[in-house]
């Protein structure tokens, strides 16, 4: 059990626009903490892990709350809640990795508070960076010097920067994405193993494949490039998939912790990644035969 501590007093700033926010970040002293949904910040403050002097409440910035499909690309504002992201009619049903966040991302109350941008900047083994990586997506960051893009797994902000949106190309109707977690407590925390898969077919063969695990080396989230390469341009069978997953997932080196040993994580990674690739393949084949 952890000890709850009194939340220290702090100054709070509520900007009325993104421009005002960027200006404040540029001019303020110290390292202010941004607050949106607060699902990470408030528990850390109660546990005494963080003691901010200045807090910036950005929850009212409506210009960062949007989901757009334009020019064959999805753009999602940083303040979109996980619940709205997962249930949006703008995102097609074939993006199962996003739709299934309603199953795998905490309780509904948490999903209605937590934001896409907040999950990205929290770091570690978070769901949105893994899913976004499987879709070849990017994170858009804004600061005093303008906009820049970042790899979802390598997003680092300076004190004067903020994540404004995530973006990913529409893979098209002959594609599907998938996501799952293996957890000891259903949907209540970081998964023992988390996996994301995205697949696209052309002429009945795999034309593009992305596979992401939450621990490929230590605690590092990453893609299995060799597995992807081996299965690309192939007509898949269950045997081909199982053989390739066994070969390449055997090479990962997940860190052990109180939740599970490295060997257990490796075993579970093989099982759920096999299921994910098979699911994507069968989903697309059944659609093409319909």
pLDDT at 37: 62
Q: Name the nearest CA neighbour of 122 among 217, 26, 12, 33.
A: 33
Q: Tell me the CATH number for domain 175-289.
A: 3.30.390.50
Give the residue among 140, 102, 120 at the shortest CA–CA distance from 40.
120
Residue 260 confidence (pLDDT): 92
- Fold of the CATH domain 62-169: 3.30.465
Structural tokens at position 202: 């052309």
Torsion of CA 52, 106, 92, 216, to 10 degrees: 80
Note the pLDDT of residue 45: 66
Domain limits of the chain? Answer: 11-57, 62-169, 175-289
pLDDT of residue 174: 97
pLDDT at 278: 98
| pLDDT score, position 39 | 61
Say what the pLDDT of residue 46 is: 59
Where b means 16+ CB within 10 Å and e means fewer, 43-78 reads eebeeeeeebeebbebbebeebbebeeeeeebbbbb
Nearest CA among 142, 141, 93, 144 for reference residue 120: 141
pLDDT of residue 1: 47
Q: Which residues of the chain have pLDDT under 50?
A: 1-2, 187
The topology (CATH level 3) of 11-57 is 3.30.43
HSE-CB of 108 using CA atoms within 13 angstroms: 1
Its sign, for the CA torsion 166, 169, 173, 174, is negative
CB 285 within 8 A of CB 202: no
Q: Is 55 strand, coil or helix?
A: strand
Closest C-alpha to 199, from 184, 211, 186, 216 = 211
Cα–Cα dist 74/70, whole Å: 7
Identify which of 64, 62, 70, 7 has the alpha carbon closest to the alpha carbon of residue 33: 7
Place of tokens 């960076």: 129
User: Residue with structure tokens 């893979």?
Assistant: 171
Q: Pairing relation of β-strands 220-223 and 175-182?
A: unpaired
Distance CA 219, CA 213 (A): 10
Q: Do 62-169 and 11-57 fall under one CATH topology? A: no
């Amino acid at each position: 059990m952890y000890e709850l501590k009194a939340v220290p007093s702090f100054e709070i700033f509520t900007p009325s626009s993104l421009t005002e926010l960027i200006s404040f970040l540029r001019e303020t002293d110290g390292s202010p903490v941004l607050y949106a949904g607060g699902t990470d910040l408030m528990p850390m403050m109660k546990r005494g892990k963080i003691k901010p002097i200045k807090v910036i409440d950005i929850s009212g910035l409506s210009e960062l709350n949007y989901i757009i499909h334009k020019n064959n690309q999805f753009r999602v504002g940083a303040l979109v809640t996980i619940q709205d992201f997962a249930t949006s009619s703008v995102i097609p049903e074939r993006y199962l990795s996003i739709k299934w966040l309603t199953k795998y991302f905490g309780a509904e109350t948490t999903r209605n508070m937590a934001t896409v941008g907040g999950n990205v900047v929290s770091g570690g083994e978070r769901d949105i960076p893994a899913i976004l990586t499987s879709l070849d997506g990017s994170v858009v960051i804004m600061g005093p010097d303008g906009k820049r893009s970042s790899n979802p797994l390598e997003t680092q902000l300076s004190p004067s920067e903020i994540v404004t949106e995530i973006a990913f190309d529409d893979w098209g109707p002959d594609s599907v994405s998938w996501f799952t977690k293996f957890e000891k407590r259903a949907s209540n925390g970081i998964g023992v193993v988390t996996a994301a898969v995205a697949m696209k077919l052309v002429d009945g063969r795999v034309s593009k494949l992305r596979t992401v695990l939450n621990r490929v080396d230590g605690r590092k989230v990453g893609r299995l490039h060799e597995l992807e390469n081996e299965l690309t341009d192939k007509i898949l069978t269950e045997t081909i998939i199982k053989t390739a997953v066994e070969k390449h997932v055997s090479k990962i080196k997940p860190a052990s912790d109180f939740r599970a040993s490295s060997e257990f994580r490796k075993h579970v990674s093989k099982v759920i990644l096999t299921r994910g690739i098979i699911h994507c393949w069968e989903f697309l084949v059944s659609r093409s035969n319909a």
